[in-house]
Structure 1
Amino acid sequence: MFRPVRHPRSPMAWVAVTLLASLAVIALVGPLVWGPSADRPDLTAVLQGPSGAHPLGTDNLGRDLLARILTAARLSLLLALAATLLGAGAGILLGASTAVAGPRARRSIGALINLLLAFPALLVALFLAVVFGAGAVGAVLALAVAGVPGFARLAQTLAAAVAGTDHLAAARVLGLRRHRLLWRHVLPNIAEPLLLTTTTAAGTALVALSGLSFLGLGIQPPGYDWGQLLNQGLDRIYADPVPALAPGLAVLYAALTFQLLGEVLAGGVARRDPTPRPPARPLAPSGPAEDGLVLQVEDLGVELPTPAGLIRPVRGVSLSLRPGEIVGLVGESGSGKSLTALAIADLLPDRARVTRRTLRLHGADLAAMTPKQRERHLATGLAMIFQNPATALNPSLRVSTQLTETVRTHRSASRAEALRDASAALARVALPPAVLRARPHQLSGGQRQRVMIAAGLMVRPGLVIADEPTTALDATVQRQVTELLSELCRETSTAVLFISHDVALVGELCDRVLVMYAGTVVESLPAGRLATAARHPYTRALVESVPHLGAPRDRPLPTVPGAPPDPLAPAPGCPFAPRCAYRQDRCAREAPPLADLDEFHRIACWSPPPPNEEPS
């Protein structure tokens, strides 16, 4: 929902608020304070210039021009706002209805909007002002109708993004009528930009309305607005320009106020953060570097402010990768896997706060770098493969552009050199050079994922973070992608952090596995032990939930009982205790640390069950 800026902070915001307040005061008190003098003729002071008694002079009946300009503010502003609201209301309803109308009606409305946009709005307003008749009502209706096409096209464009959303489809399935779909599901989601546009359009409507009155098509005597006052002073502009310029300056003042207000509201919306940002903490230097590590992370944490309070979706995560090593990160959805990867890659939103004891990439302390140095170091030393390449790749750019822009930016390569490297990278992922000329929508899901891998290889990174890269791919393509990652590790000694919820896939592909639950690592073990020697109850539950062909068909598939803990209200003790069949009294009081079982196996559990023991 649209919320105005409550506390303007920029100088422009204070200027806009001050101008708007002055307009409101003048419109409210103008007719009451200056109305009598504005309408009182004085035949002894006809057509006088500026003086102490009349700062802007008088008109042909001796009436004070300053009083008339101040009195006309109410009518001028009210008519401009009325024309804007009528045009915006009709246009928004017309354009937004395309999101809920049937195919034939949608095409008809779209054609109507295109036809209306073919005529200049000003010419339409002049024509309709003559058709409706000179006067305030005719001018307002003419401007309202002329403004409908612009609002309709904007609403149509915004509504098109809402039309394909799942929540609107779900509302259709529930059988809601189209007017309820429009009012409840479409308009609330596009209200903010429409309200901002309406604010700026009010200034344009004021200028247009004054222009119609100046031409004699707007307010008719004895009524008057700024446009008519401008017309009356035009005859004496060469002898005495102030009576002619003053109404024009009033129009400019009000129009500028609406434009500034729209700019301030738009800027406030762009900067608005619904949640408070946590105070920044000075980053201390990382701990000592360990030789031979591509990535070294110790005690990593992520804090996110929410309207309900501060949450810590990642707490105390430590991991390391060596050249050519594939480390898997598994866990249920919401366990903190992707946030851990985004924190390492410095891709978290601004309001998030990252804490750590050590965070080193290729031995360099990321916290000790300036933002530009850190950005360059991450761009050339780390590659990120996202789970949905359809959204990670820019649909408007060819593959060649997206593959070459990084090396041209960070390695100062020429276009020809970058294209040669791109062809070599595509060949490494088994794609022909012809793919360079394609756009993402022309490729299959597996090809797009290979392009993402090729884009990461362009900068020859030492670390690749693959965040569920096989999601939504069929089994054959999944196998091809994982085999490709494995081959790259062997050929280039690139380290891979492979994030997935597929325990079987991780156990087959990776060298080591880290199991995350509720933002913490609860077990770290070699991948070869995952299926048979896992000791943490949560890891065992994940392994047992993997379906296999030999399972009895008359038994339901095993699942992990219970639900993950609420991040807003974390309970003391082990986070897995409420779902654990081996819990003890101590588990509810103290959170177990990640301790060594042997040289290669670590576990966070007070009483890990013996190997292969079934829970009672």
Structure 2
Amino acid sequence: MAGGSSRRWGRAVRSPLGVTAAVLLLAVLLLAVFAPMGWQARADAVHPADILQGPSGDHPAGTDLLGRDIFARVLVAARLSVELALAATGLGVLVGLLLGTAPLLLGRRAGRWAGALVNVAVAFPSLLLALFFAVVFGVGAKGAVLAIGLATAPAFARLTQTMAATVAGRDFIAAARIAGVGRVRILLRHVLPNIAEPLVVAATMAAGSALLAFAGLSFLGLGVQAPGYDWGRLLGEGLAQIYIHPAGALAPAVAVVLAAMAFNLAGEVVARAIGLRSAESGTPAGPVTAPPPRAAAATEPAAPLLAVENLRVTFPSLGAQISPVREVSLRLRPGEAVGIVGESGSGKSLTALAIAQLVAAPGRVDADRLEFLGADLRGGGAAAHRRLLGTSLAMVFQDPMTSLNPTHRVGHQLAEVVRRHQGADRRSAWARAVDRLHAVRIPAAARRARQLPHEFSGGMRQRAMIGMGLMASPALIIADEPTTALDVTVQREVLRLLENIRTADSVGLLFISHDVTVVAQVCERVLVMYAGRIVEDLPSGALLQDARHPYTRALVAAVPGMETDRDRPLAVIPGRPPDPARLPSGCAFAPRCPLATEVCREQDPPLAAYDGDRRVACHHADLAPVAVAPYRTTAGRDES
């Protein structure tokens, strides 16, 4: 791992850009450190006989109004100029990071105020802000540092806010929240490493800009005061004599430009070298530890693993409340597989997020009952819920590339689960991660654990996500479209893996998909969702042949099979799903239903018991078999 990092840095530094940046930056830093030691006396020596002399062998840049050597003064001024620029940059970066990450650290409400402050500050040019703060804090080096630092902060905060918001919406952040990782750790471990490259570039460019800003303030008399001097003050003194002694202004101007260029070019080189380097190196695996025991409640067959009654998710919109999920009720026993199917936007994934307590504000989750392993998720301490969900609930998201942190090695991401919740040491957590990767059939698990997510194939990443869910021996796995974008061979492997895990450890499975044939293959019961509610609950054996809701039968008929006539158009469901903000009166499916009557358009049918072990929300459930032609093929089902 160290060799790869060294090679990456070596390639970056040996490039033409890297060589130029290294030479310039090294020269500036060496001057800042050693110039006062060698030239301080010469820079301060006053020679009245040599006032305003031009360039010569003794004075390469001439002399000033007191006969002091300008070249020596420029060299000595490097230390104060660089120190002040770096101090202002550090202040600006720190304040910008705090403001930009406020929504993640403080929550949406406090973060909104921080965002509003950033928006107001960004509207003003940074130079005007610097001048304003310089007047507020007073003239002098300290006031200039505060002024330039605070003037730099808004732009850095806006960049941080934008980049952090992009990363915070990805699935691996949601997975970290399920695991109970705190806000500060999520920020430091998962967010900042993924936005480090643009922040490094912005910070180094800000250092170059700070040099120019200090030169401007000192030139105006607001920065460094006599008897101190920086490049800006020397530039102001030289500019006053530019018509009779131009070299006096040229030397500090060249110093400012070269130093600013050094910082800017160095930032580009560092950003290239950082790449996607992991923050941690691999840890050798030790003896494989036994999986922790499952919670006692999960082994009680009489108690439901998950019990949900009348689940509702609402979002505010223009003074109204939109409910994209409504009246959802389900039960899931240990070892049972329940599928949720429906078109995009039907509320499948949002239902899963609500169960996992991942619906962020201003969204609101309400339910008459929401219990997992006997614990009521509607109340109680958030920390206790995070621990319960982090150890007993596993979530497998749709896109594994967005579910795994691209800057951390796969093994470390798996190990974090048991280190966070079970207090495992680094060695045993790593051993457990390797064991889980092996359990999900990833070859050479010890070597693969030290690789980054982009080094895995799509199927391997999905298996790694399942392995992450198994780190704490979960009682329930929620798989949200786990086979989307995978080829049929890899899809079959993932489905078999989920089935083996479920049967071996009696793990409950909530399987979400838009593919009715896959759900019929994997699950024992199927919930069909439309417009945010369950419209049919039936055994999977009846899904393909004997569904009683017209929407369910239409979904089945829309799937082509081996017996589908290729000379005829594929079956489609006419119309579009309704907008959750404008649901029609009566049954939401009525505008698209061939059986709709006046009662359907006026009364929304309840989800009622039908034929013993089913529930159907339809006024004409008995007539559904004639509404859409039955699905007569077993295409897509695993007959092995």
- Give the TM-score category using the shorter length: 0.5 to 0.7
Contact 2:607 2:617 in 1 (8 A): yes
Q: Per-residue displacement from partner, 1:526-552 (whole Å, max 9, x unpaired)? A: 000001110000000000001001111
Structure-to-structure mapping, 1:215-226, within 5 angstroms: none
Change (3 A) 1:485 1:251: closer
Q: Specify which of 460, 463, 467 is matched with residue 450 of structure 1.
A: 463
Structure-to-structure mapping, 1:107-256, within 5 angstroms: 119=24, 201-202=126-127, 255=148
Question: Is 1:301 paired with 2:226?
Answer: no
Structure-to-structure mapping, 1:371-382, within 5 angstroms: 371-382=382-393
Change (3 A) 1:443 1:518: same
Amino acid at match of 1:462: A
| 4+ long deviations beyond 6 Å | 110-114, 120-124, 192-198, 247-250, 260-272
Question: Is 1:510 paired with 2:510?
Answer: no
Question: Is 1:438 paired with 2:451?
Answer: yes
Could you tell me how far apart the structure 2 residues matched to 1:193 and 1:393 are? 30
SS at match of 1:375: helix
SS at match of 2:307: strand
SS at match of 1:532: coil
- Percent identical among aligned pairs is 44
Structure-to-structure mapping, 1:44-443, within 5 angstroms: 119=24, 201-202=126-127, 255=148, 258=151, 291-306=302-317, 309-432=320-443, 433=445, 434-443=447-456
Q: Per-residue displacement from partner, 1:328-379 (whole Å, max 9, x unpaired)? A: 0000000000000001111112211111111111111112321111111110
Amino acid at match of 2:541: G
**C-alpha displacement at 1:601, in angstroms?**
0.7
Contact 1:535 1:603 in 2 (8 A): yes
Could you tell me how far apart the structure 2 residues matched to 1:329 and 1:383 are? 17
| Map of 1:19 onto structure 2 | none
SS at match of 2:575: coil
Could you tell me how far apart the structure 2 residues matched to 1:261 and 1:552 are? 62
Q: Per-residue displacement from partner, 1:216-243 (whole Å, max 9, x unpaired)? A: xxxxxxxxxx9xxxxxxxxxxxxxxxxx
Change (3 A) 1:111 1:483: same
Cα RMSD (Å): 4.3
Higher relative contact order (CA 8 A, sep 6+): 2
| Map of 1:612 onto structure 2 | 625
**C-alpha displacement at 1:610, in angstroms?**
3.4
Could you tell me how far apart the structure 2 residues matched to 1:461 and 1:344 are? 15
Structure-to-structure mapping, 1:552-563, within 5 angstroms: 552-563=565-576
**C-alpha displacement at 1:467, in angstroms?**
0.2
Could you tell me how far apart the structure 1 residues matched to 2:436 and 2:456 are? 17
Q: Per-residue displacement from partner, 1:171-197 (whole Å, max 9, x unpaired)? A: xxxxxxxxxxxxxxxxxxxxx999967
Could you tell me how far apart the structure 1 residues matched to 2:413 and 2:577 are? 39
| Map of 1:182 onto structure 2 | none
Contact 1:327 1:514 in 2 (8 A): yes
Amino acid at match of 1:373: A
SS at match of 1:610: helix
Q: Specify which of 446, 460, 474 is matched with residue 473 of structure 2.
A: 460
Could you tell me how far apart the structure 1 residues matched to 2:526 and 2:520 are? 7
Could you tell me how far apart the structure 2 residues matched to 1:337 and 1:331 are? 7
SS at match of 2:580: coil
Could you tell me how far apart the structure 2 residues matched to 1:260 and 1:205 are? 11
SS at match of 2:352: helix
Could you tell me how far apart the structure 1 residues matched to 2:375 and 2:363 are? 23
Contact 1:297 1:358 in 2 (8 A): yes
Amino acid at match of 2:565: P
| Map of 1:529 onto structure 2 | 542
Contact 1:290 1:363 in 2 (8 A): no
| Map of 2:596 onto structure 1 | 583
| Map of 2:495 onto structure 1 | 482
Could you tell me how far apart the structure 2 residues matched to 1:266 and 1:323 are? 46
Question: Is 1:472 paired with 2:489?
Answer: no
Query: What TM-score, normalized by structure 1, do the two folds share?
Result: 0.58
**C-alpha displacement at 1:435, in angstroms?**
1.9
Change (3 A) 1:120 1:305: farther
Amino acid at match of 2:334: P
Amino acid at match of 2:619: W
Change (3 A) 1:497 1:118: farther
| Map of 1:214 onto structure 2 | none
Across the two proteins, how many residue pairs are aligned to each other?
A: 403
Q: Specify which of 491, 506, 509 is matched with residue 496 of structure 1.
A: 509
Change (3 A) 1:511 1:266: same
Contact 1:398 1:438 in 2 (8 A): yes
| Map of 1:551 onto structure 2 | 564
Change (3 A) 1:551 1:604: same
Gaps of 5+ in 1: 1-109, 125-129, 131-145, 155-191, 211-225, 227-244, 273-288
Could you tell me how far apart the structure 1 residues matched to 2:119 and 2:431 are? 47
Could you tell me how far apart the structure 2 residues matched to 1:551 and 1:601 are? 29
SS at match of 1:533: coil
Could you tell me how far apart the structure 2 residues matched to 1:521 and 1:591 are? 12
**C-alpha displacement at 1:116, in angstroms?**
7.6
Change (3 A) 1:252 1:487: closer
Could you tell me how far apart the structure 2 residues matched to 1:113 and 1:332 are? 52
SS at match of 1:563: coil
Could you tell me how far apart the structure 2 residues matched to 1:333 and 1:366 are? 27
| Map of 1:566 onto structure 2 | 579
Could you tell me how far apart the structure 2 residues matched to 1:609 and 1:554 are? 32
Change (3 A) 1:511 1:120: same
Amino acid at match of 1:536: H
| Map of 1:603 onto structure 2 | 616
Could you tell me how far apart the structure 1 residues matched to 2:396 and 2:368 are? 26
**C-alpha displacement at 1:414, in angstroms?**
2.3
Contact 1:515 1:539 in 2 (8 A): yes
Change (3 A) 1:116 1:526: same
| Map of 1:233 onto structure 2 | none
Could you tell me how far apart the structure 2 residues matched to 1:614 and 1:262 are? 60
Could you tell me how far apart the structure 2 residues matched to 1:207 and 1:121 are? 34
Contact 1:328 1:499 in 2 (8 A): yes
Contact 1:381 1:461 in 2 (8 A): yes
Contact 2:311 2:366 in 1 (8 A): yes
Could you tell me how far apart the structure 2 residues matched to 1:466 and 1:392 are? 12
Query: What TM-score, normalized by structure 2, do the two folds share?
Result: 0.56
Could you tell me how far apart the structure 2 residues matched to 1:406 and 1:319 are? 28
Contact 1:336 1:518 in 2 (8 A): yes
Higher mean alpha-carbon deviation, 466-475 vs 561-570, is at 561-570
Amino acid at match of 1:520: R
Could you tell me how far apart the structure 1 residues matched to 2:149 and 2:430 are? 50
